[in-house]
Structure 1
């Protein structure tokens, strides 16, 4: 291992000389961005050098750590179809300048400035080096590497590629790290069901743009989408509907399906956060088990295909409610590799007494914690509950018209806040008044509007340090297909990736627009639906 580190140090030193890469602190790097290289999200520092590298000249991927082998394989799967030659993957590093030709080196430096998700990428006519603060950082560096030949790459290895043996990469030095730890996207699979393969597509989109969280909204009034063996009617009955659909056959994930998605996401450094929405938004669950979960309010009409909210609540006086929730969390938590379980918690009906809501949420937190996970909930209404642990996270969605006491309450008690400001980060909100897809209850959310905001400044009085991250959200009341979902996501999702990753001082609308055109061409080549600016 000492030999590997020594050789890698020599390799990096040589590339440093070849690329004339100077060591700068983050503040200076922010001024050194070459916007002619259309990387999204914008890195901290991009310095274009003289010369180019032919992709076909890369013949070997050296991994300085065994845990990088899977990443190297993913790189090989992308590059090999373009060059028509397999890449060798070796556990080693180059030992002299003569060994550099044709080398792509992946390595980890745990002391790298910027943290575990930071990376540095150096490319010249001799080869490419990607160094990450951890395997995560290396993976994000690989996503940037792919964007250096964006005209020829794809979201995943089995997508159509633009062939060409003369793919050229610019000589470049990039230093980068994220602004926020949480960079997420929420997909509502309850109101509109998406298959395992469709969710994998979404994971590929997220990984490309350095999102590290997929929040799956698995349950709501319109459908229950996760199999719980101890409560089989949840999927036998509760999964068989969706918005506008009185029948939805096999519209749920088995536990094996869910594990497959978790594994697929993990391999791309995207963590899945499952949401089991309680105590409201439970019509599908109540229709499945009315004796155990229903006791007041509107009768559990089923199937429910509408889009009204505040129409259902669990039965607080029935102890079976808590056993139900414990069983569900236990089954899902055991198959979730991330730290969090989202419990929803908003839009409870008006007939629910606040005392009952508080009692339920405090017990829900204990249940989530007992299965080794940390609770997340929507700050509206969770922020009204006293006695929650500061470890519980709040997710903010309310707009200026109903903002922001509950979010400020949670932050003041030490909770971290995920920002999903509805008229900035909700991708189900219409782009403009002429759109047929989407809703306008939070106003309109144009491409420019969703880009131009600061998550740490949008709520007056919120301590900037309380903002844990940013999460885009796609609710699916008006979505009928993956094509519809793509249209509402792109290109706003790319802009929100930059909101979450890039330092606020570096972001400006004109630069974004100039770089966006290459990304839209990339989407078009793959047949992905998007809104043209």
Structure 2
């Protein structure tokens, strides 16, 4: 009855046009990072009462997400003491679990009411620092005691953030932070000059050998694609791709050899030896374009596919731009006469995408897969489960998705997980937060978000915290990937980062225990009497599975078998590996993992084992469950940090932060004989912000990472990249003298690398694309061509790459249309890659400007943005000048100001 009355009240308010019945708003400002040195910082929450009733000293609670730990009252040191009670408030963990990043601010009896039209600012100390707007607390929602929304519903409260880039207290992490905030002058000094490019430089990844002829070959009229047996899929893909840019009939036919009737012919030469070492070059290809037509010969079907992708890049960018509107497709495109031979340097060239923190739809993933395949990426590591969400349907365990895939205002977590990462169910209903903005524009303060940097909307519930892939969805993704020669590697992170699974199985237990106790306990993951205390990096206290329970391994066996079944159901989608997780269990110096578990002590096999021994035992069994499916076991290198020897295991070493001591882990493991996939946070974590600009979204705990960092990454000598620490301080090269170097045998065990995109900030597909592109293009280049010249030659190589992005690669990506064989992604055109801010300086009374990717246009305004002119040469201007870069599709960067 109560829920029905609540629904009626909500409907009534909607019908009367009321959007925010509380008329409350919050503004957050990080005031001073120098307080507490590197330990904590001061920020201010300003509550604004825009309504007709006062915000009193009792009866309301304001909930929000914040990834920083808020200090307890009285905590601090001589430079600052937390004084919440003196301000009449209390801030504590919000839900019954008291776990994670979910907080509640509530008044104490001494809180001075905020009258209508008034504001109240409270000062708060929190851990670490905050220098980017993306650090702001998010997803504010309020509940009033005795009001219609108590228990069942909360009410969204709009939030804003302010940060002054010119205030060093707001942008300097602590006294050891010497990294400057980005300015037009810094960019101007770093941006490369325009240079003419040969054909090889216009292709990405750069082919091994390119011999350019003198003529051009036209594709017009009827285009016939002949293909050898076994290449039907590749021929169909090419036909669809050409059909996107060419308004001509395109046909395919199977033919044993090129008999002269084919415009394009696809074939396999199993003995193809591109590099001349006498051995077949897997994934290698030869592409010829001459007056006889086009020939693509691959060492295997994957090689043919990559030859097709290079062929697509020979099509002029103008053809792609014209075809953004299918009705404007050209009737003829010309290709240069050329002979290209090519083979990848690494067999594993990947991207890691986290869909657990924020969900990405199957359509978004499919589009990403097609773009990745265009740059010859061949693996997608898909993080399907974490603390904040479980994203794949497992038949037989429905609770994982009916419960564990949802987030919202549910303090007891009776029907869904608690709010997290600043989102519930995006702007939709179903998360018990009423009166959210109706559109992203409304959530963004009335301005349509362009997602070329931080957007206010991401503080106001924009973000898919809920969602999952059905069996059918996941199999569709697998089929789509297999067509593009991409292996999907699912990750189920255990035994930490497992809160979604743990809470889902507890929900199952409590739902069934009275009616079906056997099924209730079948997959239980925790010992309810466990008194062990731990707090993870993300502040979770209840996110471990228990390694002493047989039900834990029953759960993992069921999940692994269902993953295998999904892959087995899709031709070509072999389950090559399962990622076992294993990262970020908190230090045992201040935490207890399982020693407080009575069931561990009661189990004869575990009663005498330490926590690290229990951890190792867990991965012996979890790894065995994975390999029993026929897949390899891969995972974070944390799995073998505690002395475990795990034959066949493929570690992904990630924690190489300069100065933290684990910079040489990858080489140690490779030298020991492990096959290694490089995952270094300092250069390959694409979710880290591009640079130190308050308007850049992303984290920065390990480094700032841009496409130059990914491009210049040195897989076989990572120490060359360790020139500065994450605070901008220069590192003495001698620091690395004692670190283990990669041996000749160890080098053979580096099987590849990938760019990693964790999902905490991926609150929309556009944000995902912004953070991934063009960073992943640097990854694709380096994974295909891992060998680099001497460090003193790298500036010239980078300048050429930047010119390639500006003149060829990104203009084509602006108009990129995913190859759509079955009408799955109709209307999808372009990628929201980051458009760099221009550089500028005043010299000799004139404004000089440049851009990171020569070939992009620069625009300027001398009247505050009312009108814009295209920059062609230095111009005279006094006072304030605004500048922006413009991509070929008309999108622009953020504006920069030159005073």
Q: Give the TM-score of the pair, scaled to structure 1.
A: 0.86
- Does the CA contact (< 8 Å) of 1:287 and 1:300 recur in 2? no
Q: Judge which range, 175-184 or 341-350, deviates more.
A: 341-350
Determine whether 1:362 maps to 2:540: no
C-alpha distance in 2 between matches for 1:95 and 1:209: 27
Q: Secondary structure at the match of 1:365?
A: helix
List per-residue Cα deviations over 1:106-140 (Å, max 9, x = no partner). Answer: 00000001412000000013310000000000000
Matches within 5 A, 1:67-466: 67-92=230-255, 99=260, 103-114=263-274, 115-151=281-317, 163-241=329-407, 243-247=421-425, 251-290=467-506, 292-295=524-527, 296=530, 307-308=538-539, 312-336=543-567, 337-350=574-587, 351-352=592-593, 353-389=611-647, 391-399=648-656, 400-402=658-660, 403-404=662-663, 406-434=665-693, 435-458=695-718, 460-462=740-742, 463-466=746-749
Cα displacement string for residues 340-362 of structure 1 (whole angstroms, at most 9, x for unaligned residues):
00011111234221011000000
- Answer whether contact 2:227 2:267 (CA < 8 A) is retained: yes
Match among 787, 792, 813 for residue 523 of structure 1:
813
How many Å apart are 1:186 and its aligned residue?
0.5
What residue number does 1:22 align with?
none
Asked whether the equivalents of residues 380 and 488 of structure 2 are also in contact (C-alpha less than 8 Å), the reply is yes
1:329 is displaced (CA, Å) by: 0.8
In structure 2, do the counterparts of structure 1 residues 42 and 405 end up closer, same or farther at CA, with 3 Å as the change threshold?
A: closer
User: CA separation of 1:230/1:410 partners in 2, compared to 1, >3 Å: closer, same or farther?
Assistant: farther
1:448-476 deviation digits (Å, cap 9, x = unpaired): 12211211211642332221101111011
**Residue 267 of structure 1: CA displacement?**
0.5
In structure 2, distance between residues paired with 1:51 and 1:149: 15
**Partner in structure 1 of residue 213 of structure 2:** 49
Q: Secondary structure at the match of 1:377?
A: strand
How big is the shift at 1:516? Answer: 1.1
Deviations for 1:270-291, whole angstroms, at most 9, x for unmatched residues? 1100001001101111111135
Query: How far apart are the structure 2 equivalents of 1:347 and 1:379?
Result: 10
Q: CA deviation at 1:404?
A: 4.1
Preserved contact between residue 688 and residue 704 of structure 2 (Cα < 8 Å): yes
SS in 1 for 2:297: strand
| TM-score computed with the length of structure 2 as normaliser | 0.52
CA-CA distance at 1:82 after TM superposition: 3.5
> Is the 2:666–2:678 Cα contact (8 Å) retained in structure 1?
no
More deviation in 258-267 or 55-64? Answer: 55-64
Aligned to 2:207, what secondary structure does the other structure show?
coil
Describe the SS at the equivalent of 1:348. Answer: coil
Give the conservation status (yes or no) of the 8 Å contact 1:345–1:382. Answer: no
Q: Unpaired segments of 5 or more residues in structure 1?
A: 1-32
- Indicate conservation of the 8 Å contact 1:180/1:501, yes or no: yes
**Paired residue total:** 492
User: Residue in 1 aligned with 2:732?
Assistant: none
- Conserved? CA contact 1:132–1:141, under 8 Å: yes
* Residue number in structure 1 paired with 2:22: none
- Secondary structure at the residue paired with 2:553? helix
Q: Report the more deviating stretch, 402-411 or 496-505.
A: 402-411
Higher alpha-carbon Rg: 2
Contact 2:201–2:800 (Cα < 8 Å) also in 1 = no
Q: Residue by residue, what CA displacement relative to the aligned partner does 1:474-527 show, whole Å, maximum 9, x if unpaired?
A: 011112101001110111111110000025247821221221111111222344
Task: Kindly indicate which of the two structures has a greater share of residues assigned to strand.
Answer: 2
Q: In proportion to residue count, which structure has more helix?
A: 1
1:483 aligned onto 2:714: no
Structure 2 distance, partners of 1:423, 1:162, is 44
* Partners of 1:449 and 1:497 in 2: CA distance: 13
The 8 Å contact of residues 34 and 46 in structure 1, kept in 2 or not, is answered as no
Are the structure 2 counterparts of residues 364 and 80 from structure 1 closer, same or farther at C-alpha, using a change threshold of 3 Å?
same
Alpha-carbon separation, structure 1, partners of 2:654 and 2:396? 33
Residues 1:58 and 1:169: Cα distance change in structure 2 (over 3 Å): farther
The Cα shift of 1:83 comes to: 3.3
Kindly indicate whether the alpha-carbon contact (under 8 Å) linking 2:691 and 2:704 is maintained by their aligned counterparts in 1.
Answer: yes
Q: Is the 8 A contact 2:707 2:776 kept in 1?
A: no
